[in-house]
Structure 1
Amino acid sequence: MKRNRLIALSSAALLTLTMAGSALPAFAAAPAKSDLQIFSWWTGVASSKALKSLMTIYEHQYKGSTVTNDAVAGGAGSNAKAVLAGRMEAGNPPGTFQVHAGGGSLLSWVQAGDMKPLNALYKSEGWYKVFPRSLLNLMTFNGKIYGVPVDMQRANVLWYNPTIFKKYHLTAPKTFPQFFHDAAVLKSHGITPLELANHGNWEATLLFSDVLLGTVGPVKYDQLLTGHASWNIPGVKAAANTFVRMLGYANKDYTALHWQQADQAVAQGKAAMNVMGDWAQGYFSTALHLKPGVGFGWAATPQTHGVFGAVSDVFGLPSKLKNDTPTINFLKVLGSKVGQDTFNPLKGTFSPRLDSNMAKYNAYSRSAMMSYKRDRLVLIIGQGAVNPGFTNNFNNAMEIFVSNHNVNNFVSAIVSAAQSNPLS
């Protein structure tokens, strides 16, 4: 089954990396001399540093090999996905590419016949035992696995400035009523309660996803995302009304801000709270050098305690490569314990492997790892949860909604998106 692909013109920054020469653990596979090009949207400070460490391990293990990251900037892959679609349409796939786990972006490539299954690799590397079934299910279609996860990220996180909260005797809000109480106190003291960014036209969608999850609960939320519940249910409208009320406590320049700028405003005390995935933690820790619990605080977004909003970056094996070997070798490194426990602490994410070394992670990541192992996993709209057609229509509806605040029109647009792009 072939789907229509969007071809966009964009400039890609080519970053050539060379081996760092430090002593690194060896892998069982035999070295293979060849070049490898990977494709990602990791261009930020923390993610670039983390990816370079992973590429260094690969180049050390496979002597004489070179690896390049053909990166296209844009949070959540907003620009990279369009560029990648053009390359795949032209029959020029990279050796491997970044995609989100779930029935959205990964599944769309599988359905187009552009990916090869990786069951044999999982068996040879023993990965069936180290990745939880709940995660494997997000990459499995018709019994075949098509991705190797490199990280795990939590998307239902409310970040806050501990100094501000302490000054005004506030605690991280666990419910929407508490959020609005705290927001009113903060606003009365001239502090922006909620810093929002939406320059990439995905950040507001993430915020709404968390509000929806907290409003309808994980069971009904999953039913919405899988097409087993109508988007006309009262809970969707209730979530939209809560979202609009939250915007009343947000900054007005959200369309001009990237997500890092929103995080920075919280870190600097210009705003008190921000909702963002825990890639924000990588920015706080790596770029701003802040200590978890001191420079920044965190909590599950209101009314989502006990639920883990999962976002996992995975890489797969394109079906039209002339030589699979470099890609398979890179995937071995990417899925290995040493590769993941090197990459994730630098990026601010954590390894989805159940045997990862928790001592390598900071206080925030350890808390997220405990939630990941304990709580129910759900996917997030705009982060690989649903098909690209629905996601694009949803983001477009959200862009209008954050400007006009018309709840009825927004809900109608989502209902139409689900009818035009079936979720089941």
Structure 2
Amino acid sequence: MSRRRLYKAISRTAIIIIVVVIIIAAIAGGLAAYYSSSKPPATSTSLTSTSSSLSVTTSSTTSTLSSITTTTSTASSYVVDFINPWGAEDPVGLKWIGGNFSIYYPGYSVQFTSLPGASGVEERYVVINDIEAGKLQGIFWAHGGPEVLSYVELLPSPHDLYNMTPLLAQEGLFQKGVTEALMAISYNGTIFGSPTNVHRAEELYFNPQILKKYNLPIPTNLSLLIYDTQQLEAHGINPWAMSGAEGGYEQLHLWFAIFLSVAAQYYGAAGAAKLSNELMYGVLNLNNVTVQKIINETDNVFLQFVGQSSVIPSWQSQSIWSALALVIKGQTVFEAGGNWLAEYAAIWYNTTTYPATQPYLNWSNITLMAMPFPGTQGIYVIDMDSIAIPTVNNPQEQAAINFAKFWASYEGQKIWTYYKGVSIWANSTDYYSTPMQWYDYQSLLNTPAQNFTWAFADGTLFDDVFYFLIAQELNLQEQGSSYLPTFNAALFKAENMTFHEWQIAAKDGFGFVGQRGNPFGNYLPPWVNPSTYTYNSSYTPSFLLTPPHYLLPYLKKLGQQQYANKVNSVNYYAINGVNLLPFPLLIVLMIYLDQTRYKYVIKTFLNKINFFSNIFLSKFLTFNFTLYLGV
């Protein structure tokens, strides 16, 4: 039956009732989603701030390594608490930075609470819980990317996270720092996280000894990497190291690295970086035929690399660090990640990482090499660690400011980045512990602005999107090709969630990465006027208004916040409680109501009415099964 006939099958009164119900459901759903989806899933509240924690209080200790000396003061009057994920990764570096802080700022010291898990997979929960409980004090770790906006949105006011921009300007970083690195942590000119180091992500770490043993080439492009993988499998070797302990984090790194490599085949390095930045803002056009080809190729290569014959059998119990040990020992060959792997190999395995360039390619005793992920040469995938300071009920605020100031200084960066990443200062010398760090630092200085993008698994994603997507990546590896349609639907949901949260940030004045006249990656999201840098609240990506039809059967599998209900011939489609047809109108209404003093009353009321209206609409459509709502 045609759409016109379906509408004729219902009385005028019924249509009016339905329209009213849809509008109420859409407005209520949209507003409730606006207030609720900016917070992480409810599961995040299950972890308390004492779970798996390691507290390290500095004491009078002197340690010397490569001319970097740490002496920790014993007569401290001011203590700053620092929540971080680095205790198991770089305890030496923490002692160095804490001890030298006490030297440069007599009377001050740091107490470290370090939680396990790469990319702060546990630390983030603790920070979120402490913010919601109103007890976050001192200073805390966060990626400097859009992830930090998750905490800005959780706080009562967007100005309740300390603005680091004046502090960094006072230190001289805007004159002597790496411009693109500073733009990567700026939000319309505001910096919430003071940089501690710059990482390069989406690199391939490998053991060249195994490749030489089987006369296999260094994989400088994706085709060669696929070839090496197949040949190693034919020799009975599981070529890929992978971890399951971080819940899909390393899987997301690998998927995104492949995505960039495939995208570069179609668009070149700058075009692939642009595509990645669209992904970062939630505006990647998933209806575009070429984009769909890139995603499909990415999915297929990913499954090939994590298939049963390719990946180490024990991957589910491995961390990214223990998986790295297997690469160094020659029990497997490849691991995707960033130069944090070089850091860990140097500290814990006494292994130096060398770039896959001359003269090192001719050396015969190297067990760990690294390179930009094959096919992504020319793209700098940045991942910056930072420290952020809450300004609400924080008696340690001034001590935390002093700590951030010291860490951002040239000397502070030199102490910390001896092992970890590289310095944000543009005049750094080669004091690094590994040749790979110096290689990455040179690339940081020489990569064109339009070839920069953020690491998808490390800082690009708001926290709720991050936890959602790593779980989907884990599902994809475990379930294989049968899960591909659901995974691609999850990618659509992630883009919708991301776009939605960026609108909240834009309303608060933080709607793009970078500064006016110097956007990160030389890319501005489409809701920003390129002439005035003002926010265009009426913009909505077309693919969100008309989602790909092939995804609809799988959207219902993606949890309570996104669903597709089908009642006989009725399709009612919503994302995060939002009926997408009047979405631009809802954004305007959301922003207006958010600025009123009735914000919290409205939030509570809409959460209740949204539940009622969605149930009522579903029941109503059950009795009017011939209605078609346009999906």
Please classify the TM superposition score into its range, dividing by the shorter chain length.
Answer: over 0.9
Contact (CA 8 Å) 1:231, 1:411: kept in 2 or not? no
- Counterpart of 1:62? 105
Counterpart residue number, 1:222: 277
- Give the alignment of 1:133-172 within 5 angstroms: 133-172=179-218
CA contact (8 A) 2:102 2:108 kept: yes
TM-score by length of 2: 0.63
C-alpha distance in 2, partners of 1:79/1:359?
A: 32
Aligned counterpart, 2:395? 322
Aligned-partner SS, 1:283: helix
2:343 to 276, 282, 291: 282
Partner of 1:204: 251
Decide which of 100, 108, 124 is 2:150's aligned counterpart.
Answer: 108
Following superposition, the deviation at residue 361 of structure 1 comes to 4.1
Q: Distance in 1 between matches of 2:331 and 2:212?
A: 15
Could you state the TM-score of these two structures normalised by the residue count of structure 1?
A: 0.92
Is the Cα–Cα contact under 8 Å of residues 99 and 109 in structure 2 kept in the other structure? no
Identity across aligned pairs (percent)? 20
User: Which amino acid counterpart does residue 182 of structure 2 have in structure 1?
Assistant: L
User: What's the counterpart of residue 357 of structure 2?
Assistant: none
Give the residue type in structure 2 aligned to 1:220: L
Q: Contact (CA 8 Å) 1:32, 1:62: kept in 2 or not?
A: no
Assess if the C-alpha contact under 8 Å between 2:222 and 2:375 holds in 1: yes
Counterpart-to-counterpart distance in 1, 2:113 and 2:334: 34
How far apart in 2 are the matches of 1:250 and 1:223? 31
Q: Which residue of 1 aligns with 2:304?
A: 245
Q: Aligned in 2, Cα 1:167/1:312: closer, same or farther, shift over 3 Å?
A: same
Partners in 2 of 1:143 and 1:297 — Cα distance?
A: 37
**Structure-1 separation of matches of 2:233 and 2:106:** 58
Q: Which amino acid aligns with 1:97?
A: F
Residue of structure 2 aligned with 1:338, choices 405, 411, 416? 411
| Letter of the structure 2 residue corresponding to residue 211 of structure 1 | I
2:435 and 2:339 map into 1 onto residues whose CA distance is 13
1:386 CA drift (Å): 2.1
Question: Partners in 1 of 2:387 and 2:282 — Cα distance?
Answer: 26
Question: Could you say what the CA RMSD is over the residues aligned between the two structures, in angstroms?
Answer: 2.2
CA distance in 2, matches of 1:22, 1:269: 33
Opposite residue 408 of structure 1, the aligned amino acid is P
Asked whether the 8 Å contact 2:79–2:396 carries over to 1, the reply is no
Alignment of 1:4-403 (within 5 A): 4=39, 6-10=44-48, 11=51, 12-20=53-61, 33-45=77-89, 47-103=90-146, 105-111=147-153, 112=155, 113=158, 114-201=160-247, 202-216=249-263, 217-232=272-287, 233-234=291-292, 235-248=294-307, 249-293=310-354, 294-320=366-392, 321-347=394-420, 349-375=421-447, 376-403=451-478
Preserved CA contact (<8 Å) 2:280 2:498? no
Give the residue type in structure 2 aligned to 1:345: Y
Q: What do the CA deviations read for 1:247-306 (whole angstroms, capped 9, x no partner)?
A: 232223322110011100000010011112211111211211123341311111121111
Kindly provide the amino acid, as one letter, of the partner of residue 214 in structure 1.
Answer: S
- The CA deviation at 1:312 is 0.8
Structure 1 residues 393, 21: closer, same or farther in 2, change over 3 A? closer
Question: Which amino acid in 1 is paired with 2:47?
Answer: L
Aligned with 1:358: secondary structure?
coil
Q: Report the CA distance between 1:422 and its aligned residue.
A: 2.0
Give the superposition deviation at 1:141: 2.1
TM-aligned CA distance change 1:91 to 1:174, over 3 Å: same
| Secondary structure, counterpart of 1:318 in structure 2 | coil
Q: Secondary structure at the match of 1:228?
A: coil
The one-letter code matched in structure 2 to 1:310 is: I
- Equivalent-residue separation in structure 2 for 1:109 and 1:417 (angstroms): 18
Q: 1:407 is matched with which residue?
A: 484
Contact 1:193 1:250 in 2 (8 A): yes
**Matched residue of 1:312: which SS?**
strand
Unpaired segments ≥5 residues, structure 1 = none
Is the 1:158–1:301 Cα contact (8 Å) retained in structure 2? yes
Structure showing greater Rg: 2
TM superposition shift of 1:40: 0.2
Secondary structure of 2:419's aligned partner: helix
Residue-by-residue CA offset, 1:151-185 (whole Å, 9 max, x unaligned)? 11111111111211222222321222111211122
What is the distance in 2 between the residues matched to 1:389 and 1:22? 40
Contact 1:218 1:378 in 2 (8 A): yes
Any idea what SS the aligned residue of 2:283 has? coil
Q: State the 1:109 CA deviation.
A: 1.8
* Counterpart code for 1:416: K
CA contact (8 A) 1:8 1:83 kept: no
Aligned partner of 2:494 in structure 1 is: 417
| Structure 1 residues 200 and 25, CA gap change in structure 2 (3 angstroms) | closer
Range that drifts further, 52-61 or 376-385: 376-385
Q: Which amino acid aligns with 1:56?
A: G
Contact 1:172 1:299 in 2 (8 A): no
> Which structure has more helix as a fraction of its residues?
2
User: 1:410 and 1:145 mapped to 2: Cα distance?
Assistant: 33
Query: Hey, what does 2:527 align to over in structure 1?
Result: none
Take 2:62 and 2:322, find their aligned partners in 1: how far apart are those partners? Answer: 35
Secondary structure of the residue aligned to 1:15 is strand
Consecutive unaligned residues in structure 2, runs of 5 or more: 1-33, 264-271, 355-365, 503-631
Cα offset for 1:43? 2.0
**Secondary structure of 2:113 counterpart:** strand
Greater Cα shift, 242-251 or 254-263: 242-251
How has the CA–CA distance of structure 1 residues 252 and 191 changed in structure 2, closer, same or farther, with 3 Å as cutoff? same
CA distance in 1 between counterparts of 2:398 and 2:474 reads 43
State the secondary structure of the residue aligned to 1:172: coil
| Cα-to-partner distance string for 1:49-82 (whole Å, 9 max, x where unaligned) | 1111100111122223231111111111111110
Amino acid paired to 2:301: T
Which amino acid is the alignment partner of residue 240 of structure 1?
Answer: D
CA contact (8 A) 2:217 2:224 kept: no
State the alpha-carbon separation in 2 of the partners of residues 419 and 142 from structure 1: 22
Determine helix, strand or coil for the equivalent of 2:45.
Answer: coil
The alignment partner of 1:193 has SS state of coil
